[in-house]
Amino acid sequence: MEKFILFMVLLNCALLSGNLYMHLFLISLISIGFLTHGIDLIKLLRLIALPSGFIVLGSISIAFSLHADPENSLFCFDSMGLCIGLETAGLHKALDLFFKAMAAVMALNYLILSCSLSELNDIGRKLKIPLILRELFVLTYRYISLLFTFTGQVHIAQRNRLGYARRKQSILSVGMLFSSAFIKSLLFSDRSLEALQSRGYHGEFYFRQQKEVLRLKQVLSMLVFGILLLFLDNYSNLFDLISHI
């Protein structure tokens, strides 16, 4: 629960703040925490590669405008009566959205990597989250870890057999990889259902509950940390206002 409180502090600072410096500070702070606790830079980049791809696509759609003003655009392209261009205001909004979303993703990665599946399920039970949502989370968590492990093994086997030596072979290998992962997920779902039913599954996963006392000192330190982030956000906004004046 202490980790969840810290996660909520980081997430709210990322989503509620409109300051670019605050988002950069949160991304840097969480990244340094990951690097100092055993995650190297390559694993960290792989961890954020998938969500950052979706965030980049969403930011690009905001940055470019179909009816851009040629005078206020960094560049503009006329085609079929449409002026597709990159305006300064759209670029600023896209950058704000990108760093805000990345800060929120890094906060979510902190919660997932610092808490085990049983701890997350206990947090959901204490917060009175509906059972169906907790069950979906457990199954999704398990399926994602399984598919990542399986696709990594298949990709290594294909590379060792020169499956990506040429472009045509690469396209064929990728298609076989997706089809194998789909078949593996179907087989795993059937076997998991049979295993659960044989063990008396009645609609709820049971984990070993860890009864730990919430430490007041840790909670107060996280609240002080949140107040410092709030002060830093207001100080940065004040600094921007003075610089504009």
Q: Concatenated DSSP letters for the chain?
A: -HHHHHHHHHHHHHHH---HHHHHHHHHHHHHHHHHTT--HHHHHHHHHHHHHHHHHHHHHHHEETB--GGGEEEEEEETTEEEEEEHHHHHHHHHHHHHHHHHHHHHHHHHHHS-HHHHHHHHHHTT--HHHHHHHHHHHHHHHHHHHHHHHHHHHHHHTTTTSSHHHHHHHHHHHHHHHHHHHHHHHHHHHHHHHHTT--S---------PPPHHHHHHHHHHHHHHHHHHHHHHHHHHHHH-
Low-confidence stretches of the chain (pLDDT beneath 50): none
Which are the contacts of 59, defined by CB distance < 8 A and separation ≥ 6?
94, 95, 97, 98
Cβ–Cβ under 8 Å, residues 47 and 109: yes
65-69: long-range contacts (C-beta < 8 A, 24 or more apart)?
65/90
Phi then psi dihedrals of residue 75, to 5 deg: -155, 155
> Could you tell me the pTM of the whole model?
0.68
Count of Cβ atoms closer than 10 Å to residue 85 Cβ: 21
* Nearest CA among 106, 141, 120 for reference residue 34: 106
**Closest to 231 measured CA to CA, from 4, 51, 25, 3:** 25
**pLDDT confidence of residue 134:** 79
Q: Are 126 and 211 spatial neighbours (Cβ–Cβ below 8 Å)? A: no
